[in-house]
Amino acid sequence: MAEPPERAFLVAADVQRGDGRWNTQSSLEELALLADTAGAQVVGWAAQRLARPHPGTYIGRGKLREIVSQRASLGYTTVIFDDELSPSQQRTLERELEVKVLDRTALILDIFAQHARTKEGRLQVELAQHEYILPRLRGQWSHLERLEGRIGTRGPGETQLETDRRLIRNRISALKRQIEQVRRERALHRRQRARQGVPVVSLVGYTNAGKSTLMVALTGADVLVEDKLFATLDPVTRRVRLPSGNQVLLTDTVGFIQKLPTQLVAAFRATLEELTEAALMLHVVDITHRDALQQAETVEATLAGLDLAEKPLLTVLNKVDMLVDEDGASLGEALEGETVRAILEPWEPEAVVISAEKGWGLDELRARVEVVLAEEAAGRV
């Protein structure tokens, strides 16, 4: 018999940053989607407005007592916090709440571990997990620390802790060596492609923006398409024929998300390096999402953090079909609607509007890709 799903209670600190980005409600809704993707059932959530997260417990003591009081009625078995917790915060919270405590980083790492299919993807996820766990090991041996000094228990807690630290550090070193080998192999493949003279076009975007659906629509690639966050992690590269008959290599990459764990960015360096060789990046945006602008800003900030801000980029507004009531509408009919025009206005005139699901606008996208690549090639001459 399958085990029942974990019952998760979500917690966020509503920190007023004054930048107008990512209100707490939107962030909690995204955290709920992440929890669902990981296989948990969300049974409740809470937020507290703070000038800054509490250094000891993330939220205030009063809010913490309130959450504890709801355990009997909600039956939650896990509490997930919307930001990365320090090791001491996590230990304190687990002691106070008496259930498993996770943060957004641990949740995303768990999803990546579930969805990584290739050897490369599994190596990258395992490295990120070990680097996350290492500073949190001390809490795993607190039961021995409480017995310290008693007969038969002098020293084993610290001894076991140091043994585990050494084992994890050794594993991290081994994983980094294997991933470095992957980097060298990828660099070799990129040099071979460069000699062939076939430009590389990379798909980037927020998770669940429809990159994989677009990959299938343009290339017929056999990739997983699901309405879930981080449904696919492993990069896929396929050829696409442009209107002139010339070909490009289209590469899909891991989706981005707000508060993307630094461990993941570092671990997926070998994969993300594919973007450095791209002649053009297609930034796929889910135009139906109410936080589309904020999601786009998150992607652009992540690219800037990878020193890719100057790379040629074409914005592709996807899922326009979901803004149209009539099933039989065409892209032209969809663009005539006042509601659609109002939604698209902030993105015009540079963006290309498509529906990867319906196949709308793909000819225009191929044509725009060819124009941009030609302009970039002319600028390099």
pLDDT of residue 79: 96
Q: What's the pLDDT band for 166 if we cut at 50, 70, 90?
A: confident
pLDDT of 11 above 70: yes
Rounded CA-CA distance 69/47 in Å is: 15
Amino acid at 101: V
- Which position has the token pair 């725009």? 368
CA atoms of 116 and 206, how far apart (whole Å): 18
Give the domain-ending residue among 81, 108, 135. 108
* pLDDT greater than 60 at residue 287: yes
Same domain flag for 99 and 133: no
Distance from C-alpha of 144 to C-alpha of 154, rounded to nearest angstrom: 9
pLDDT bin (cut points 50, 70, 90) of residue 159 is low
Q: Please report whether residue 364 resides in a domain.
A: yes
* 268 falls within a domain: yes
Does the residue 323 lie in any domain?
Answer: yes
Shared-domain flag, residues 102 and 159: no
Burial of 164 (0-12, 13-18, 19+ CB in 10 A): middle
Whether 138 and 87 have beta carbons less than 8 Å apart is answered as: yes
Domain assignment of residue 259, yes or no? yes
The CATH number of whichever domain residue 36 belongs to comes to 3.40.50.11060
Residues 159, 304, single domain; the answer is no
On whether both 96 and 137 belong to a single domain, the answer is no
pLDDT of residue 135: 85
Residue 345 reports pLDDT greater than 70: yes
In a domain, 186, yes or no: no
In this structure, the answer to whether residues 122 and 260 fall within a common structural domain is no
Among the ranges 250-264, 272-286, 301-315, 356-370, which has the highest mean pLDDT value?
Answer: 356-370
In SS3 terms, 316-357 reads as EEECHHHHCCCCCCCHHHHHHCHHHHHHHHHHCCCCEECECC
Asked whether residue 2 is assigned to any structural domain, the reply reads no
What pLDDT band is residue 306 in, cutting at 50, 70 and 90? confident
Looking at the fold, whether 55 and 85 belong to one and the same domain comes out as yes
Q: What CATH number is given to the structural domain containing 254? A: 3.40.50.300
Question: Could you tell me if residue 189 is inside a domain?
Answer: no
Residue 369 clears pLDDT 90, i.e. is over it: yes
Q: State the pLDDT at residue 145.
A: 44
Do 206 and 310 sit in the same domain of this protein? yes
Of the listed ranges 169-183, 188-202, 297-311, 312-326, the least confidently predicted one is: 188-202
Per-position b or e across 88-101, b if 16+ CB within 10 A of its CB: ebbbbbbebbebeb
Is 169 in the same domain as 202?
no
Looking at 53, 78, 108, which one is the last position of a domain? Answer: 108
Q: Which two tokens stand for residue 128?
A: 């990120």
317 φ, ψ (degrees, to nearest 5): -90, 110
The yes-or-no verdict on residue 215 having pLDDT over 80 is: yes
Which range marks the domain in which residue 21 is found? 7-108
* 219-265 per-position pLDDT tens digit: 886 655 555 566 556 677 888 999 999 999 998 877 888 888 777 77
Domain edge (last residue) among 108, 140, 162: 108
In a domain, 182, yes or no: no
**Neighbour count for residue 323 (Cβ, 10 Å):** 17
Are the CB atoms for 289 and 268 separated by under 8 Å? no
Same domain, yes or no, for 352 and 281?
Answer: yes
Quote the pLDDT of residue 189. 75
- Say if residue 168 is in the same domain as residue 210: no
CA gap 28, 48 in Å, rounded:
12
Answer yes or no: is pLDDT of 57 > 90: yes
Using the CB atoms, write b or e for 135-148: b if 16+ within 10 Å: eeebbebeebeeee
| pLDDT of 313 | 94
| Number of domains forming the structure of the chain | 3
User: Is there a single domain that holds both residue 304 and residue 320?
Assistant: yes
Mean pLDDT of 60-86: 95
Residues 338 and 209 occupy one common structural domain:
yes
Is residue 141 scored above 80 in pLDDT? Answer: no
